[in-house]
Amino acid sequence: MQTKVEKTPKATIKLTVTVEADKVKEAYEKVLDKAVAETTIQGFRIGTAPKELVKDKVGTDTLYGDAVNIILQTFYPQALKENLIMPISNPHVEIKEFSLDKDFEFTATVATMPEVKMQEYKEELKKRYAAKIEEAKKNLKEGEELHVHIGPNEIIETLMEKSEVEFSDLLLEEETERLLSRLVNQAQSIGLSVEQYLKSQNKTPEELHSDYQKIAERNLKAEFVLAHLVKTEKVEVSDEEIQEAIAAVSSEEQKSLLDDKTQMIYVKSILQKNKLITKLIEETEGENHHEHEHKE
């Protein structure tokens, strides 16, 4: 196997993988042997029919397609591993041709973790908080105490304004499709077709896609910015904190979370981001935050 790695804009990598002809034949023979073992041909015990008859019954296109799948499942992960590539999207795969007598070439384009560039966000948070205090003072009645707080949404809004993230179009389309699929499922759950939903919103399919693409773009940017700051701010979450969070949900959900490592990582990620936002609120409000906490 030979692999050419091409870095393209927006944290996207294109792999061109060439698999030798002998490996192609090996994959095809494996598929054909499996087909012989599983295909029923009249007049023969299963697994004993001649290969030519099995080929005719199953079809060349199906056999070639299965062989291509084996090749991709084998050599795509191998190419990632050998080149130390960690994709964060599904691959977009393109195949030129398939022949048992030639090397097999395919390209796989994937999104990778984008670079996050942060401006001076802490200073901006303090400016925004100071402006809130000044505005509150204008409306403060005599004898009233001044309680001004900055909320999580304001924190995130400021972080978004003070950051630059350029992520792959592949990832954006993947997230847009995920959001749209969820919308379709929600609409169908209440008996609405997609056409009825579009009519109720007075939107075309293109307008709906555009709307959800903007939501996806914002979601992804927020996700990458917060994940970046969790690292730079060194926000840690203990196993005890994860267990406490899981204990707060139902027993069935607890079991599924405890049994699924991916879900455990997801819970940890949420806790880290929440802890980051709390940390930034405390730092921004300074003594005002602690005074309020004490009085409460």
Answer yes or no: do 139 and 179 share one domain.
no
- Residue 244: pLDDT band with limits 50, 70, 90: confident
* Domain contains 227: no
- Of 38, 59, 60, 56, the C-alpha closest to 47 is 38
Residues in the chain: 296
Q: Do 127 and 56 reside in the same domain of the chain?
A: no
pLDDT at 118 over 80: yes
- Residue 245 to residue 249: CA distance in whole angstroms: 7
Binned at pLDDT 50, 70 and 90, residue 242 comes out as: confident
Residue 294 has pLDDT above 50, yes or no: no
Residues 138 and 253 in one domain: yes
Radius of gyration of the chain (CA): 28
pLDDT exceeds cutoff 60 at 292? no
Domain coverage including residue 239: 115-162+233-296
- Residue 154's CB is within 10 A of a number of other CB atoms, namely 17
Residue 228 lies in a domain: no
Q: Which amino acid is at 95?
A: I
Whole-number pLDDT of residue 250: 65
Give the pLDDT band (50/70/90) at residue 253: low
Residue 258 sits in the same domain as residue 281: yes
Question: Are both 13 and 92 inside the same structural domain?
Answer: yes
Same domain? For 122 and 107 the reply is no
**What is the arithmetic mean of pLDDT over 129-150?**
88
Query: Do the domain assignments include residue 257?
Result: yes
Residue holding tokens 């050419």? 4
**∠ Cα 72 77 81 (to 5°):** 150
Q: How far apart are CA 241 and CA 247, in angstroms?
A: 10
For residue 296, being part of any structural domain is answered with yes
Whether residues 54 and 127 share a domain: the answer is no
Q: Which residue has the tokens 């079991």?
A: 255
Asked, for residue 275, whether it belongs to a domain, the answer is: yes
CA distances from 251 to 239, 247, 248, 254, 270 (A): 18, 8, 9, 5, 20
How many angstroms separate the CA atoms of 176 and 216, rounded?
A: 5
Are residues 152 and 172 both part of a single domain?
no
Residue 194 carries which side chain, given as an amino acid letter?
V
Q: What is the predicted pLDDT for the residue at 42?
A: 87
* Residues 83 and 197 both lie in one domain: no
Same domain, 134 and 154: yes
Longest dimension (CA), the chain: 100
With H, G, I as helix, E, B as strand and everything else as coil, classify residue 10.
coil
Q: What is the 3-state secondary structure (H, E, C) of 237-255?
A: CCHHHHHHHHHCCCHHHHH
Q: What is the mean pLDDT of residues 195-207?
A: 91
Instruction: Flag whether 205 is in a domain.
Output: yes
pLDDT surpassing 70 at residue 142: yes
Tell me the per-residue pLDDT of 254-275, one tens digit each, with 9 for 90 and over.
Answer: 656 666 677 778 888 999 999 9
Query: Looking at residue 139, what is its pLDDT?
Result: 84
Residue 270's pLDDT is 92
* Residue reference for tokens 């990598």: 13
Are the C-beta atoms of 21 and 103 separated by less than 8 Å? yes
Tell me: do 51 and 153 sit in the same domain.
Answer: no
Q: 74: which residues sit within 8 A by CB, 6+ positions away?
A: 27
DSSP code per residue over 63-124: HHHHHHHHHHHHHHHHHHHHTT---SS--EEEE----TTS-EEEEEEEE-PPPEEE--HHHH
Average confidence (pLDDT) over 279-296: 72
Our count of domains for the chain comes to: 3
Query: Last residue of a domain, which of 199, 222, 245?
Result: 222
Q: Averaged over 231-237, what is the pLDDT?
A: 94
The answer to whether residues 93 and 184 belong to one domain is: no
Q: What is the pTM of this model?
A: 0.82
